[in-house]
Structure 1
Amino acid sequence: MGGTFDPVHNGHLVAASEVAALFDLDEVVFVPSGQPWQKADREVSPAEARYLMTFLATAGNPRFTVSRIDVDRSGPTYTIDTLRDLRRQRSDAMLFFITGADALAQILSWRDVQELFGLAHFVGVTRPGYQLELDASLPVDAVSLLEVPALAISSSDIRARVSRGAPIWYLTPDGVVRFIAKSGLYQPRGQAAPTGLVVPTGPAGSPGLVYPAGPRAGAAGTGSGGDAGGSGAGGAAPAGTGPIRPAGPLSRRRADPGS
Structure 2
Amino acid sequence: AVLMAGWLHTNSPIASKRVLELLQELETKWKEQQESGREFPDEYNCRPSEKTYVTAIAAVGSSYDENKAKVALQMLRDLKERAKEGDDAITPSMASYNIVMDVCAKCGTSKSIKVQMEALKIGFAVYKAAKLDPNAKLEPTTFVRILRCVIYLMNRGDESDKLAATLFGEAKKAGMVTFDVCKSLGKATTRMARDKILKDTVNEEGRVDYSNLPIDWKRNVGPERKRSRKYSNGVP
- Higher relative CO (CA 8 A, sep ≥ 6), structure 1 or 2? 1
| TM-score, scaled to structure 2 | 0.25
| TM-score, scaled to structure 1 | 0.24
Greater strand proportion: 1
